[in-house]
Structure 1
Amino acid sequence: MARLMLRMKVSMILTGVFFTLYFGLQPVTEWFERKDQVAAPEEVVFVNTSVCHVSGQWKPTGFYSSIEPVNKLRCRMPQLLIAITQDGSNFLEPKRISEDLSCKYWLKSGHTHIHSGQYTAYGHFDLKRGATRKIKIGAGEQIVRIRCLDKFKASKYYDVLYFFSPPDPKLMSTESPEKLSVMVLGIDSVSHMHFVRYFPLVKAFLENHPHTKFFGYSRVGLDANANLVPFLGGGSSRVAGSDFLSDDKAWLWDSFKIEGYSTAYGEDNAEGILFSRNGDKELPKIPVDFDLTPVIVEMNNHTRYSIDLKEMIHCTAGRKFQDVLRDFVLQLVPYMQGIPFFSVFWQSQGVQEYYEYAWQLDHSYMMLLKKLLDADILNNTLLLLMSDHGLRAGEYRMSLQGMKEESQPLMVAIYPEWLKRKYPLAVGNLESNAHSLITPYDLRETLADVIALGQLKDANIEVSMKRLQTHPPNRLPRGISLFLPIPDHRTCDLAHIPSLFCFCRELTELPTDDGLVLRSSRFMVESINQLIKPFGQCRQLKLEMVLLAYFLDFGEESFVYELRLRVRTSPGNGVYEATVRLSDVLLLTSPISRVSHYLGQSPCIGDPDLQIFCFCI
């Protein structure tokens, strides 16, 4: 009887398990059975106007297989000293000294010329194992280079540190500001979709603060310099008589400085975006108050080492150059709290070469924004979180979606809540431009309104809106403030966006062996050869293959015909793209862009505009 009861219990348990598994896992089974029915990639609308509709895919087919993974990269050297200022004096504070060291240091003024090799002073100090006593260096703005040797004369520590003069207490203000500060926080080579995929923490931060994402922001040039100079230092379309930019070559730092703003500039790259093609820095006429460039140049010349295989991510001691940049921003917080400021900070290392490197930046940028919020900086600041273009080379760039994203850089405006309450029409227009076609020229005009904040009053905005409406439809200003509604009929031509960067037009793929395609491709390669012909150290290129050809549709009423081409040349296997207009005489209607890597191919030429074409003999 006991055995019978045991069998019945076992049978009931097994039956229960069967029904539980069957009915419990049935939805899972159905999910696996439906797995082969692949859903279409989610579409994201970028531009949506009467003359332009641009959309993209959140995660296009084959996305992950085309992305090169990047390991977590860390600086391998120790950080033995940090810079601190106490009671007006500068000190080096030891950290984790594990052996006796003999150190030498060299001093420069904080306002030294970036290429100056002259030091104002030098000295020596010893660090004993376990040392904690601070070493006094001097006072005021200083740059100090340090090198420490062990008892065997082996180099154990080399670094560059810097000091600011303490902020003036008289400048600290607790009253509501009459001016709106501006901070440009730039990350090179990040498209809007790149940001959406790889910056979830920053995205979550934004959702709790007033902001506008500008999906229709477009590049107008090939590189950072070509896209940022029209914004920071290019011409303005303001009418004559404007108090703001009477000099159409004025840098924004100069214009803000004249209006009583403090100014700052920092990059994590010694060969920065403000360097002209002859290697000199295109400095604003009025020196910025806080400039990280001399510090980064000193690091690059004396203490730099690389931590990636391509040698594109640099460290000094225990810090990446990008960490030095973020520390620079945070050290400026006490100065930002005192008076209105205009500042530009730009990161390029890592993100220029590695698409997935963005994963490693998300947390640090979220924390940076949070610290700015906690310090009440964001309550008085228009912050532009932006990029210059998307990724310019690599396997993903070769896809149609990657090609589009290259011309759709990140642009997000973060602003205080009070700005919308005080200037509802202006900020309402700004938000309505989220899916309009906009450019760096528009950003410059937007900041022209910020510097004269009273211009954002509803009555003034209404006058400006009426003035904008008086322009003929085919003759809009090159730059339009984002506090005004961007006209719905604005095209790439009206916005001064070259054909290569414009995706408003429908693309029709053509056979690569078509006679007209081949003729246009040979013309494109010959145009490259004409550029490098004066330089005997560069090989002349030959067309190896046409990789891709598109016909650009300008509409039924247009008699303009253009081809978008991608070709591979030899020697060097360079891959280039450009647009060619078809007529009796072929015409390039865009810059020629290189979309393949060229590291090590052009050491014989210094001009970055020509390096992309030159294969050295």
Structure 2
Amino acid sequence: MARLMLRMKVSMILTGVFFTLYFGLQPVTEWFERKDLVAAPEEVVFVNTSVCHVSGQWKPTGFYSSIEPVNKLRCRMPQLLIAITQDGSNFLEAKRISEDLSCKYWLKSGHTHIHSGQYTAYGHFDLKRGATRKIKIGTGEQIVRIRCLDKFKASKYHDVLYFFSPPDPKLMSTESPEKLSVMVLGIDSVSHMHFVRYFPLVKAFLENHPHTKFFGYSRVGLDANANLVPFLGGESSRVAGSDFLSNDKAWLWDSFKIEGYSTAYGEDNAKGILSSRNGDKELPKIPVDFDLTPVIVEMNNHTRYSIDLKEMIHCTAGRKFQDVLRDFVLQLVPYMQGIPFFSVFWQSQGVQEYYEYAWHLDHSYMTLLKKLLDADILNNTLLLLMSDHGLRAGEYRMSLQGMKEESQPLMVAIYPEWLKRKYPLAVGNLESNAHSLITPYDLRETLADVIALGQLKDANIEVSMKRLQTHPPNRLPRGISLFLPIPDHRTCDLAHIPSLFCFCRELTELPTDDGLVLRSSRFMVESINQLIKPFGQCRQLKLEMVLLAYFLDFGEESFVYELRLRVRTSPGNGVYEATVRLSDVLLLTSPISRVSHYLGQSPCIGDPDLQIFCFCI
């Protein structure tokens, strides 16, 4: 009897275990069975309107472009001195001195012209091993270059530092009229999907703050200059010309300054992305209150050294140029806390050449955003985290996905919570434009509304929306504020986006030996030769091979026929892309873009627009 009872208990236990395992694990089993469906290739929608649908892959095949571990590159020299201001005086503070050094310094005014070689003062001091020392060198805004030698006259430290005047308490009003500050944080050559893949920390930060990702943001020009001048200057860089660039009132900075904003500009490149395209002219003096350009130019002329094989990532002493730029942003925080500010900061080193370098920037930009949040800057600021275009050259750019991403730059707007509460219709429109086709011209109009913030009240927005609806469908304004709904029927042509940068149209691949393809390709190379013909130092190019050819579908009702071409030329193995319209005569409908590297091929010519075509004799 006892044995029978034991058997029954064991049977009941085993039965219970069986049912528990079967029914308990069934949901888990189903989850694993469904996992293949979830893990299927995913796509993200960029533009989704009645006339344009653009999508792309979340995760393309893994790709590495560099032959060295660029993420591990560090500046080789020590950072022996830092700049501090105390009680209105400027000091150089010595740190980590491991040997006796003899130092000399050269001073410039902080308001000096960028290319001025004139120093206002000189001086020298000694640093003793193990000692901590502060060296007073002056007051106010100053730029100082310091060079230290050891007892054998070998250079041990060479750097450029700068000082700001402390904020004037009289100007730091705590009860100023309501204004929304604007900050542009630009990272060159980063497409929206590049950002998604390589900036997980920044993405996580954004999820906790009001923001809108503009998937349909498109470039309108080839490079940073051609995309930032329409945004900050309101005109195409080719239309604007050098006269425009020398006119202070053409820039957004002037509009903001008139309304009582302080202004700032900084980039980590001494060449100047906003300069005239004529390589023989000097960089313009940007009309801002705080300008990092003279500092970067001084570093570039005297203390710069490169740490990568392509010599595209620069250091000064123990800091990368991009670190100097981010320090500049943080130096301005005390000024931003008390007065409305319009500022533009742009990084280009590293990201222009190396696809995977973006991963190295994620933590630093997340840290910067966190510091701006802790300083309460983001509570009163519209921050545009943006780029100008995707990666423009190299192996990844040669892929179809890379070709599309070049024209899909990053654009994210971060704004304070109170903005949506106070202006619900305007911010609602902003958010509804996340998948609309938008351009730098629209950003210009958006910031014009920020200057006149009261115009964002619901009643005013309703009037502007009705006015926009009165425009004929085929004659929309070139720039439309993002606080208004971008019309659903907007096309690339209506948005002034050249064919080469537009992916609303279906691409049909054509044989590269097709007669029309070859004829159009020869016309494209001849167009390049016409551009460089006046420059005898540049070799005339020959068509070596047609690499790709696509037919652009404009729809059944259209009689427009265009080809998108990729060709390789000789000498120099340059690879170029453009769109050619087929008619009685062939016509270029886009700029000609170079998608292969050309470092070292065109030192004989200074114009950036022509360097991409010139193979020097």
Q: 1:333 to 1:18 in 2, by over 3 A?
A: same
User: Aligned to 1:238, what secondary structure does the other structure show?
Assistant: helix
Whole-angstrom CA distance in 2 between matches of 1:541 and 1:119? 46
Residue 174 of structure 1: CA displacement? 3.4
State the Cα deviation string for residues 358-393 of structure 1 (Å, max 9, x = none). Answer: 111000000000000100100110000000000001
Within 2, Cα distance between the matches of 1:604 and 1:506? 40
Change (3 A) 1:108 1:281: farther
How far did residue 41 of structure 1 move? 2.2
Q: Deviations over 1:144-188 (max 9, x none)?
A: 000000000000000000000011112234347511100000000
8 Å contact 2:433–2:482 — kept in the other structure? yes
Distance of 1:440 and 1:263 partners within structure 2: 20
Aligned residues: 617
With the length of structure 2 as denominator, give the TM-score of the two structures: 0.92
Instruction: Compute the displacement of 1:235 (Å).
Output: 3.4
More deviation in 492-501 or 226-235? 226-235
Q: Between 486-495 and 173-182, report the one with greater CA deviation.
A: 173-182
- State the 1:338 CA deviation: 1.5
1 CA distance for matches of 2:280 and 2:416? 37
Q: Is the 8 A contact 2:567 2:577 kept in 1?
A: yes
Aligned to 1:323: 323
Residue 61 of structure 1: how far off its partner (Å): 4.0
Distance in 2 (alpha carbons) for counterparts of 1:28 and 1:461: 52
CA contact (8 A) 1:236 1:444 kept: no
Distance 2:44 2:194 in 1: 12
| Inter-partner Cα distance in structure 2 for 1:6 and 1:67 | 71
Q: SS of the residue aligned with 2:239?
A: coil
Equivalent residues of 2:190, 2:390 under 8 A apart: yes
Q: CA deviation at 1:32?
A: 12
> 1:515/1:168 Cα in 2 relative to 1: closer, same or farther (>3 Å)?
same
Residues 57-66 or 562-571, more deviating? 57-66
Alpha-carbon distance between aligned partners in 2 of 1:45 and 1:67, rounded to the nearest angstrom: 33
Q: Tell me the CA shift for residue 282 of structure 1.
A: 8.3
8 Å Cα contact 1:238-1:245 kept in structure 2: no
- Is 1:463 equivalent to 2:469 in the alignment? no
Give the Cα separation in 1 of the matches to 2:407 and 2:397.
11
The question of whether the paired residues in 1 share the 8 Å contact of 2:218 and 2:501 is answered with yes
Give the superposition deviation at 1:233: 1.1
State whether residues 507 and 551 of structure 1, in contact with CA within 8 Å, keep that contact through their aligned partners in structure 2: yes
User: Does structure 2 retain, via aligned residues, the 8 Å contact 1:82–1:92?
Assistant: yes
133-142 or 280-289, larger mean C-alpha shift: 280-289
Secondary structure at the aligned position of 1:6 is classed as: helix
Tell me by how many angstroms 1:60 deviates. Answer: 2.2
State the shift of 1:259 in Å: 1.0
Task: Supply the distance in 2 between the matched residues of 1:309 and 1:24 (Cα, whole angstroms).
Answer: 58
In structure 2, how many angstroms separate the alpha carbons of the residues matched to 1:164 and 1:472? Answer: 51
The one-character-per-residue Cα deviations of 1:254-290 (angstroms, maximum 9, x if unpaired) are 1111111100000000012111122478877873100
Rounded to whole Å, the distance in 2 between the matches of 1:152 and 1:6 is 93
SS at match of 1:604: coil
Identity %: 98
Contact 1:51 / 1:489 at 8 angstroms: preserved in 2?
A: yes
CA distance 1:236–1:101, change in 2 (3 Å): closer
Question: Structure 1 residues 214 and 68 mapped into 2: Cα distance closer, same or farther (>3 Å)?
Answer: farther
Q: Structure 1 residues 239, 509: CA separation in 2 closer, same or farther (over 3 Å shift)?
A: closer
Summarize the Cα distance change of 1:281–1:130 in structure 2 as closer, same or farther, 3 Å threshold: farther
Task: Tell me by how many angstroms 1:7 deviates.
Answer: 23
| CA shift in 2, pair 1:584/1:16, >3 Å | same
Q: Is the 8 A contact 1:263 1:343 kept in 2?
A: yes
Which residue of the partner structure matches residue 368 of structure 1? 368
8 Å contact kept, 2:275–2:284: no
Change (3 A) 1:319 1:557: same
1:407 Cα shift? 0.1
In structure 2, the residue matched to 1:152 is 152
CA contact 1:237–1:477 (8 Å) conserved in 2: no
The 8 Å contact of residues 264 and 290 in structure 2, kept in 1 or not, is answered as: yes
Paired with 1:373 and 1:72, the residues of 2 have a C-alpha distance of 28
Given that 2:100 and 2:151 are in contact with CA atoms closer than 8 Å, whether structure 1 keeps it comes out as: yes
Distance 1:491 1:212 in 2: 22
Equivalent position SS for 1:19: helix
Cα deviation per residue 1:401-436 (whole Å; 9 max; x = unaligned)? 110000000000000111111111100000000000
Relative to structure 1, the CA distance from residue 43 to residue 64 in structure 2 (aligned partners, 3 Å threshold; closer, same or farther) is farther
CA contact (8 A) 1:67 1:395 kept: no
1:71 counterpart SS class: helix
Contact in 1 for aligned 2:65/2:355 (Cα 8 Å): no
Q: Structure 1, residues 69-113: CA drift from partner, whole Å, max 9, x if none?
A: 634111010000000000000000000000000000000000101
- Alpha-carbon distance in 1 for matches of 2:59, 2:444: 33
Moved more, 489-498 or 18-27: 18-27
Which residue in 2 is equivalent to 1:566? 566
Bigger drift between 199-208 and 35-44 goes to: 35-44
1:34–1:336 Cα change, 3 Å: closer
Task: Report what 1:197 is aligned to.
Answer: 197
Distance 1:209 1:36, change over 3 A: closer
Q: 1:447 to 1:71 in 2, by over 3 A?
A: closer
What is the TM-score when the length of structure 1 is the normalising length? 0.92
Assess, with a 3 A threshold, how the Cα gap between structure 1 residues 171 and 433 changes in structure 2: closer, same or farther: same
Is residue 241–residue 276 contact of structure 2 (8 Å, CA) maintained in 1?
no
Q: Residue 245 of structure 2: SS of its match in structure 1?
A: coil
User: Which residues in structure 2 correspond to 1:301-450 (within 5 Å)?
Assistant: 301-450=301-450
Instruction: Return the offset for 1:234.
Output: 2.5
Residue correspondence of structure 1 range 18-37 to structure 2 within 5 A: none
* 8 Å CA contact retained: 1:173, 1:337: no
Rate the CA distance shift 1:17–1:445 in 2: closer, same or farther, 3 A. same
SS of 2:143's equivalent in the other structure is strand
SS at 1:129's partner residue? coil
Label 1:538 to 1:7 Cα distance change in 2 as closer, same or farther (>3 A): farther
In 2 relative to 1, CA 218–456 (structure 1 residues): closer, same or farther, beyond 3 Å? same
Q: 1:66 to 1:103 in 2, by over 3 A?
A: closer
Residues of 2 paired with 1:462 and 1:238: CA distance? 35
- Whether the 8 Å CA contact 1:108–1:120 is kept in 2: the answer is yes
Quote the Cα distance in structure 2 between the aligned partners of 1:546 and 1:181: 49
Q: 1:35 aligns to what SS in structure 2? A: helix
CA displacement, residues 22-53 of structure 1 (integer Å, 9 cap, x when unaligned): 99999999999999999642100000000000
> Take 1:10 and 1:546, find their aligned partners in 2: how far apart are those partners?
78
Distance in 1 (CA, whole Å) between partners of 2:338 and 2:325 is 21
Separation (CA, whole Å) in 1 of partners of 2:278 and 2:236: 24
**How far apart, CA to CA, are the structure 2 residues paired with 1:99 and 1:590?**
59
SS of match in other structure, 1:322: helix
Within a 5 Å distance, the mapping from 1:65-214 to structure 2 comes to 70-175=70-175, 178-214=178-214
Question: Any idea what SS the aligned residue of 1:254 has?
Answer: helix
Once the two structures are overlaid, the 10-residue window that deviates more, 174-183 or 353-362, is 174-183
Q: Deviations over 1:326-358 (max 9, x none)?
A: 000000000111110100000000000001001
Structure-2 change in CA distance of 1:427 and 1:28 (3 Å):
closer
CA shift, 1:130, in A, is 1.3
Structure-2 separation of matches of 1:355 and 1:237: 27
Specify the alignment match of 1:279 in structure 2. Answer: 279
Kept after mapping to 1: 8 A contact 2:242/2:276: no
Q: SS at the partner of 1:360?
A: helix
CA distance in 2, matches of 1:609, 1:472: 36
Query: Is the CA contact 1:105–1:146 (under 8 Å) kept in the aligned structure 2?
Result: yes
Are 1:541 and 2:541 an aligned pair? yes
For the residues of structure 2 that align with 1:608 and 1:247, how far apart are their CA atoms?
A: 21
Kept in 2: contact 1:240–1:246 (CA 8 A): no
Give the structure 1 partner of residue 291 of structure 2.
Answer: 291
Unaligned runs of 5+ in 1: none
Say which is worse superposed, 416-425 or 233-242, in terms of deviation: 233-242
CA contact (8 A) 1:217 1:439 kept: yes
Given that 2:100 and 2:128 are in contact with CA atoms closer than 8 Å, whether structure 1 keeps it comes out as yes
CA contact 1:89–1:138 (8 Å) conserved in 2? yes
Answer yes or no: is the 8 Å Cα contact 2:173–2:339 preserved in 1.
yes
**Offset at 1:239?**
19
Residues 110 and 4 (structure 1), Cα distance of their counterparts in 2 relative to 1, 3 Å cut: farther
Structure 2 unaligned spans of 5+:
none
Shift in alpha-carbon separation, 1:64–1:23, aligned structure 2, 3 A: farther
